[in-house]
Amino acid sequence: MKDTSKTRKTELYEHLKTEIMTLGLRPGADLDESKLSEEFSLSRTPLREVLRQLAGEGYVDLRENRGARVSEMSHMTLRDFFLAAPMIYGAVLQLAAQNARPEQIQDLQEAQNAFKQALHTGSGTQRAMANNRFHEVTGEMADNIYLLPSFQRLLIDHARISMTFYRPQDAGMAASVSEASQQHDAIIAAIAAQDEAAAAQLAIDHWNLSRDRIELFVMPSGLDVQLGSLSRKTPA
């Protein structure tokens, strides 16, 4: 019985994580806990355990006597994201080059293989989550209790922003995705070689691939478009 409950909790966790990051659930949306409880055959206690975990990771906000909702994205959070992203990415990859263990490098290569496969045959959601998993592994490699929570929130919002502005029919963006995959390979090589300088430079290069579009998006004219109001796409 415990194993069954654990499996359902994992399924709920992965479901909500994916829906939030790919805008199936919009920023600020209330979560219907009764519906989730019924859908995943979970009582209130294990359901709330999952929500508390997601809240700790930045996916949802828990409000006393008002239930859970998807974490917000305001003008302020978007601008904070834009300012912090290059610094956090750089710190994570430098620490990853210092601290990565052989088994983690293997995990990173496997994540990259999954990303490449998703680029060729996967859905938009699969591509987004495969890209996210690649970066999650670099955060695990960095192994810093102060940096990791900020990095996790950064990945959530980067995915949500990217899902809004990505256009697969845009030739320039398609080329950007291909270059991003090549940079993933270079990141793996730099980390495996414990080359902190190369890892730091790749963090800058990787961020710059999406910077121009994100910069346009966080300007007031771009923010007139409600997150999630566009069709669900794939991030670069």
pLDDT in tens, 72-110: 988 888 888 888 999 999 999 999 999 999 999 999 999
Q: What is the pLDDT of residue 174?
A: 63
Q: Which CATH architecture has domain 75-224?
A: Up-down Bundle (1.20)
CA-to-CA dists, residue 110 to 3, 26, 114, angstroms:
27, 30, 6
- Which two three-digit tokens encode residue 98? 């210092």
pLDDT grade for 126, boundaries at 50, 70 and 90:
confident
With beta carbons less than 8 A apart as the criterion, state whether 132 and 154 touch: no
- Rounded mean pLDDT, 123-138: 91
Query: Out of 1.10.10.10, 3.40.50.410, 3.40.47.10, 3.30.565.10, which CATH number does the structure's domain 2-70 have?
Result: 1.10.10.10
Q: Report domain extents, the chain.
A: 2-70, 75-224
DSSP state of 30: B
**CA atoms lying within 13 Å on the CB side of residue 21:** 28
Query: For 123-142, what is the mean pLDDT?
Result: 93
CA gap 16, 107 in Å, rounded: 23
pLDDT of residue 65 exceeding 80, the answer is no
Model confidence at 124, in pLDDT bands (50, 70, 90)? confident
State if pTM tops 0.75: yes
Residue 84 contacts residue 150 (beta carbons within 8 Å): yes
Read off the amino acid at residue 70. Answer: V
Mean pLDDT, rounded, for 120-132: 87
Contact 192, 137 (CB under 8 A): no
How confident is the prediction for the chain on average, in pLDDT? 86
